[in-house]
Amino acid sequence: MTPKEFGKYMRDCRLRAGFETMEALARASGVSAPTIMRIEDGKTETPTVATLKKLATPLKVSFEELMKAAGFLNTSSAADTIKEPCAEYLADPKKLAELDRATLVRLQAYISAVLDFANEGDLSPDDLRKIETFKKFLISQRQEVSA
């Protein structure tokens, strides 16, 4: 989904949930009206996971559905979702050193979001261990880039 398409989707969700204005949704969700406006106008590439969490309940949409619509999750299993974009980094974590801070933060948020939905049936204990290790590595890399 492009940012414009996601913005239209969010606007439709807002109206279906009974919020005639962005300000009303802002009051109900704790997300600022300007942020909601940027999302609905398609000016936000991808909203943050925290923003989507705050919006889910007032919009009467599951957090998982918003995560899928925003592109954080795909419709396959959690195991496939996490392995798809992170495969090259799981295979060679040294490649992370080439990434900028914003990309590291996005990868960390992506992994956190997937883990929120992972269950023992989708991910083996070994997969969960690898993902947790990778997440810790991302955090350390982000701290090094910030320093």
Claim: this prediction has a pTM higher than 0.85:
no
* Distances from the Cα of 86 to the Cα of 41, 92, 108, 143, angstroms: 29, 10, 10, 19
pLDDT in tens, 51-62: 888 999 999 998
Do 84 and 48 lie in one domain? The reply is no
Domain boundary among 70, 103, 128: 70
- Calpha distance 91→95 (Å, rounded): 9
Last residue of a domain, one of 70, 94, 122: 70
The answer to whether the CB of 71 falls within 8 A of the CB of 81 is: no
For residue 121 the two structure tokens come to 């049936």
Q: What does the pLDDT look like over 86-141, one tens digit per residue?
A: 666 666 666 666 766 667 766 776 666 666 655 444 566 666 677 777 777 777 76
Same domain, 54 and 90: no
Q: Do 17 and 37 fall within a single domain?
A: yes
* Domain boundaries, position 136: 78-146
Q: State how far the Cα of 109 lies from the Cα of 42, in Å rounded to an integer.
A: 20
Last residue of a domain, one of 26, 48, 70: 70
Do residues 66 and 30 share a domain?
A: yes
